[in-house]
Amino acid sequence: MIRVSIVGGSGYVGGELLRILLKHPHVEVRQVTSERLAGQWFHRAHPHLRGLSDLRFVPMEKLEACDVLVLALPHGRAMRSIDRWARLADRIIDCSADFRLRDPTVYERWYGTPHRAPAWLDRFVYGLPELNREAIRNARYVSGVGCNAVATILAVWPLVRAGLVDSGRGIIAEVKAGSSEAGRQAGPASHHPERSRSIRSYAPVGHRHTAEVQMALGLEAVHLSMTAVETVRGVLATCHVFSKRPVTERDLWRAYREAYAGEPFVRIVHERTGLYRHPDPKVLVGSNYADVGWALDEQTGRIVAFGAIDNLMKGAAGNAVQCLNLMCGFDERAGLDAPGLYPV
Amino acid sequence: MIRVSIVGGSGYVGGELLRILLKHPHVEVRQVTSERLAGQWFHRAHPHLRGLSDLRFVPMEKLEACDVLVLALPHGRAMRSIDRWARLADRIIDCSADFRLRDPTVYERWYGTPHRAPAWLDRFVYGLPELNREAIRNARYVSGVGCNAVATILAVWPLVRAGLVDSGRGIIAEVKAGSSEAGRQAGPASHHPERSRSIRSYAPVGHRHTAEVQMALGLEAVHLSMTAVETVRGVLATCHVFSKRPVTERDLWRAYREAYAGEPFVRIVHERTGLYRHPDPKVLVGSNYADVGWALDEQTGRIVAFGAIDNLMKGAAGNAVQCLNLMCGFDERAGLDAPGLYPV
Amino acid sequence: MTAVCPECEGPIRLAEDLMEGEIIPCGDCGAELEVLSVTPLKLGLAPEVQEDWGE
């Protein structure tokens, strides 16, 4: 059994980390921190987990050494005290955006402040197993992934890999996302009478995850637009790509199969009939699966590529545990093989 | 007062037509037909209108002559008996798709069956006042508009008009729509446990409204994708355009102001702060307004153009009454100046 | 008295007793405009507070 502690455990990602790790066959959850709820029972923040453990939140300075530290702090916090976390554990997984990008100047451009620990950037591996498995397996420090970025990357990666994407035109990705993405902090934007039934273009241009998609796909022309729609969990990336050469359905089946052969958490969804012909986050709630697929417009050669995930799972906590399994040599599926809840 | 009858009045569009016309200063609603509910009180189908009239549904063969006939029939029905309707009224507004397209071969390509009354196509005017006001004013026969098409057309029209759209690349329009678009007919797709919180790519390519957008904008390269999201009323078209020459915010303000100067039902929404910076159907429920706007990505020159409407109002019934007002010489706003209900 | 918004060129209606330093929001684009001077009339963009809605 390995000892894992969670830093910043009172948020939604913290809750999912606990939900998975408390049931993980090879993990013992040692501590979970929260400054705000220090001393309180963990189920004060995670009512659905009542009775699963007798953990209480501890303040950060009470953290003891352990095998793996999973950081679930707001952006900008992890990089300020990374040296301290590194003294407490040999392996660190940071779910925030602090160590996702390799280039500090790119970080500053997108996040608006200079990176606080640029020397650490090269020591972190980008934590997307489907693209980075070997590097993660051998890494001590792994970053999390942006949920919108992951849905977009997994949707389009097979087309990039098959050399179908015209790098000049690149991709237009419109990502529709649920409210839990914005986290636990309540405010005017998350007030139910305003948020319910709204179709809100909260980041039509300039969304930070653009840099992550550019880095992961090695593609400059990434045109990302974010729209908030009514759901709590769920992301659907709808990506428009104009292929360089004529493509057929069979070419696309081959591209997606080859890209994701043997992947434990990626499913190809491309049906002719039925309610769920294309990926829909509706069937992924609480699961670590990513459903990918496409639609081909034969008249114009436009490929519409889809990527659907649960933003709190494959978009954050589930993906972090998938990386932990790889780093610790466990079965990559350990603690993560639950299917989505449906209907919900 | 003019006498107006509604053919096919038991659906959602029929209900909106009644809601507006029963309160219209210059209209007397003479008859409303429904084969299924013939003989029953009209509020059987429209509970919110109880007490506003003592109308009862009549079967079609009981229709008497009147000044204007508004057809709210399922697609494919109006064109089969257009001669009969023309004998009953000097002016006809058909809300269905039967008479929107000018070219019968284009109709057959998109609707999969030969047009039943091709000779009538030239006698109908496409019923979008913002693009066709004079033709509608002088027309006896006016077609309705497709809700997804209207949102897309109004979003992009200022850019086309200002010569900013590269006709080679055209536009990529992703339209997110509510459940009332599919009408009153219940089925597996509209079953609440399946429809709620789903983000469903029901027509990623090949949607019929493509032809309407191509016709209205005079643009061949129209790449339309439809996604169903959780709301009952509401359409948001998010259109991606790469302008031929560098553009500034001020150029875009000018393009939208010039295109819609004096328009009674189009509002420009482009704010720097607040919850409703860009068009959002959330604030348009029950109103005939179309909110349009944009976001400019200065790095890449991408313009994201928005069009938001209530699909039952500016996307159908409200727009039909706007055409009726023009055809009959009334104030174009007559019966239509109610703002959206909010919050809802 | 009317002026033109420096951001979006929209029309701005101004009160007769306009004072230097006053903040006037533009009706079209919502820009907060500071009255830099009254005669001659000069409007400039007032510093803004950025809103952040999470991820």
Q: Does B178 lie in the same domain as B91?
A: no
pLDDT tens figures, B109-128: 999 999 999 999 999 999 99
CA distances (Å), origin A222, targets A168, A218, B129, B156? 10, 10, 37, 22
Report ipTM (2 d.p.): 0.94
Give me the amino acid identity at B143.
Answer: S
Q: Which residues of chain C lie closer than 8 angstroms to B254, CB-CB? A: 9
Specify whether B113 is located in the same domain as B251: no
CB contact under 8 A, C54 and A146: no
State residue C51's pLDDT score: 58
Task: Assess B295–A contact: CB distance below 8 Å, yes or no.
Answer: yes
For the segment B14-19, the average pLDDT, to the nearest whole number, is 98
Question: What pLDDT, on the 0 to 100 scale, is given for residue C2?
Answer: 86
Q: Is C9 exposed, middle or buried (0-12, 13-18, 19+ CB in 10 A)?
A: middle
| Model pLDDT, residue C55 | 44
Q: Of A147, A148, A189, which has the smallest distance from its Cβ to C53's Cβ?
A: A189
pLDDT digits (tens, 9 = 90+) for B264-322: 999 999 999 899 999 999 999 999 999 999 999 999 999 999 999 999 999 999 999 99
A280 and A257 in a common domain? yes
Residue-wise pLDDT tens digits, B236-246? 999 999 988 99
B176 vs A227, A275, A278: nearest CB: A227
Q: Is the pLDDT confidence value at A33 over 70?
A: yes
CA distance, residue B239 to nearest chain A CA (Å): 10
User: Do the Cβ atoms of A139 and A320 come closer than 8 Å?
Assistant: no
The answer to whether position A302 is within a domain reads: yes
Whether A77 maps to a domain, the answer reads: yes
Residue C47's pLDDT is what? 78
Name the band, by pLDDT with cuts 50, 70 and 90, for residue A217: very high
B320 and B283, same structural domain?
no
Same domain, B175 and B228: yes
Report yes or no on B32 lying in a domain.
yes
A62 belongs to a structural domain: yes
Residue B51 contacts A, CB cutoff 8 Å: no
| pLDDT, mean of residues A176-205 | 96
Q: What percent of chain A has pLDDT over 90?
A: 98
CA distance C26 to chain B (A): 10
What is the CATH number for A205?
Answer: 3.30.360.10
pLDDT band at C16 (very low <50, low <70, confident <90, very high): confident
Residue C48 has pLDDT above 80, yes or no: no
Strand arrangement of the beta sheet that strand B171-177 belongs to: B200-203, B222-228, B171-177, B235-242, B302-309, B290-297, B266-268
Statement to judge: residues B214 and B271 lie in one domain: yes
Q: What is the pLDDT of residue B241?
A: 97
Interface of B with C in 158-177 (CB under 8 A): none
Same domain, B264 and B128: no
DSSP letters of A152-183?
A: HHHHHHHHHHTT-B-TTT-EEEEEEE-GGGG-
Interface of B with A in 226-245 (CB under 8 A): 227, 229-232, 234, 236, 238, 240
* Candidate from A28-32, A58-62, A241-245, B156-160 with smallest mean pLDDT: A241-245
- Is the pLDDT confidence value at C52 over 60? no
A110 reaches C (C-beta below 8 A): no
What's the CATH number where B75 sits? 3.40.50.720
**Residue B205 CB coordination number (10 Å):** 21
Whether residues A99 and A168 fall in one domain: no
Dist CA A342 CA A250 (whole Å): 30
Helices B147-161, B249-260: inter-axial angle, 10-degree rounding: 120
Least confident segment among A312-316, C19-23, C45-49:
C45-49
Q: Which residues of A form the catalytic set?
A: 147
A236·B198 Cβ contact <8 A: no
Do the Cβ atoms of B297 and A229 come within 8 Å?
no
Q: Where are the strands (E) in B157-197, listed by range? A: 171-177
Confidence of residue C49 (pLDDT cuts 50, 70, 90): low
Residue B131 shares a structural domain with residue B108: yes
Query: Considering its fold, how many domains does chain A have in total?
Result: 2
A59/A44 same-domain check: yes
Q: A157 and A36 share a domain?
A: no
Segments forming the whole domain that contains residue A160: 147-309
pLDDT band at A244 (very low <50, low <70, confident <90, very high): confident
Which tokens belong to B270?
């482009």
Q: Mean pLDDT, to the nearest integer, of B154-179? A: 96
pLDDT digits (tens, 9 = 90+) for B177-232: 999 999 999 999 999 999 999 999 999 999 999 999 999 999 999 999 999 999 99
Subunits next to B (3 or more Cβ pairs <8 Å) are: A, C
Whether residue C53 has pLDDT greater than 90: no
Q: Are residues A25 and A68 in the same domain?
A: yes
Are the beta carbons of C53 and A182 separated by less than 8 Å? yes
Please answer whether residues B127 and B136 qualify as being in contact, where contact means their C-beta atoms are separated by less than 8 angstroms.
yes
Is A296 inside any structural domain?
yes
pLDDT given at position B244:
82
Q: Is residue A291 part of a domain?
A: yes
